[in-house]
Amino acid sequence: MGGVLVSERASGSDDLPQSVALLEKLVAFETTNSNSNLDMIEYLQSLFQDAGIEPWLTYDKDRRKANLFATLPSVDGVTQGGIVLSGHSDVVTVEGQKWSTDPFTLTRRGDRLYGRGSADMKGFIAVCMSKLESLQAKQLRKPLHFAFSFDEEVGCLGAPLMLDEMVRRDIRPEGCLIGEPTSMNVVVAHKGANLYRCRVHGRPAHSSAPVLGVNAIEYAARVICFIRDLADSMKQQGPFDRFFETPYSTAQTGRISGGVATNVVPQLCEFDFEFRNIPQIDAQDIYAQISDYVENTIRPAMREEWDGADIALEKIAAAPGLNADEQAMMTRLVRALTGDGDIRKVAYGTEGGQFQNAGVPAIICGPGSIEQAHRADEFIDIDQIAQCEAFIDALAGPTGIDNESQ
């Protein structure tokens, strides 16, 4: 497959940052969303325990997946305040992708490290964990928290459980660093991501007598066209935010299934759609337009043909948008440490909006490029790992969270 295994090149050698050895171990955990992440989470848990820190876990309903939260107290034993270092443990599938290396074996080629999750976002987690011992030695005046979630890639499903437990435990951080891959640049905002499923229940009939049935596909198509018209309207009329590459809210249908044969009026049709709202727009306002059309136009029309027909919308996942306050401590701190004053806003979602809605101001900055995420031969530049290590050192230093002027 090409390349050299990191372990074969002495992970601790002078030309590799210290966290690469841990990244090699993390990449080997196949934490795709169809798999459990418990092996990786329990491994991280053991590293904290070895350092004298006892994390707590929150599980999904089947206890196949877990979030991990741990607190490194201040030198005075304070656990309140401080900041959260946040990352997700899950990675996207490699099915259907052509890799030139083993995706679950960290492989070095020149100045790049290849492997699923190397950029998105086990690189950041590896840096955070490899710095644990040195962070303990710094005798911080404020605590650092570590939050590692599950199922971020399928709608940020794990983080809300962890945030609820933080509220229950009365944990109130001052800010959160989301370590998604930004090439160590500051990202202050992202769109909300909202995924829904529409199920249309019609009435089957022979196609020679379609008036005896209710065509589920055709009524689904009306809703799909409405969503497209709504997307066109937002593209043409806004509102707009020029700092996004696509400076308006978007909507689209991504999957559809229905029907059994061409000579049968279809009884069932199901499709999934999403919309991504700029932070200035309430996602509920977009959903309300679609819901109103379904409830007040489509369902009555279907039931005029047959009173047993129905149509329903189901929320699959929703991750709120992030819009960081430039005056918030977290924003000012990360800007000061990186020297980056540019305004960047992105279309992809993170858990930042969930932290923000929970009262924890968030900012996005992490190693690796988002352009490498989710694709075959995902990689992270070694220099990005080194930059992130230097950033974490600075974050915990006298100009970081210990700086009272922040």
Q: What is the pLDDT of residues 285-310, one digit of tens each?
A: 999 999 999 999 999 999 999 999 99
Fold (topology level) of 4-189+321-395: Aminopeptidase (3.40.630)
Q: What is the pLDDT of residue 23?
A: 98
Is 405's pLDDT higher than 90?
no
Give the start-to-end residue ranges of the domains of the chain: 4-189+321-395, 198-319
d(CA 31, CA 9) in angstroms, rounded, equals 25
Whole-Å CA distances, 397 to 52, 134, 202, 368: 22, 11, 64, 23
Q: What length does the chain have?
A: 406
Q: What is the pLDDT of residues 370-395, one digit of tens each?
A: 999 999 999 999 999 999 999 999 99
Q: What is the pLDDT of residue 402?
A: 67
Name the pLDDT band for 9 (thresholds 50, 70, 90). Answer: very low
Q: Average of pLDDT values for 96-103?
A: 97
Kindly state the percentage of the chain with pLDDT values over 90. Answer: 91
Is 139's pLDDT higher than 90?
no
Q: What is the pLDDT of residue 390?
A: 96
* Check whether domain 198-319 has CATH 3.30.70.360, yes or no: yes
Name the pLDDT band for 401 (thresholds 50, 70, 90). Answer: confident
d(CA 192, CA 287) in angstroms, rounded, equals 12
Is 13's pLDDT higher than 80?
no
Is 12's pLDDT higher than 50?
no
Q: Average of pLDDT values for 34-63?
A: 97
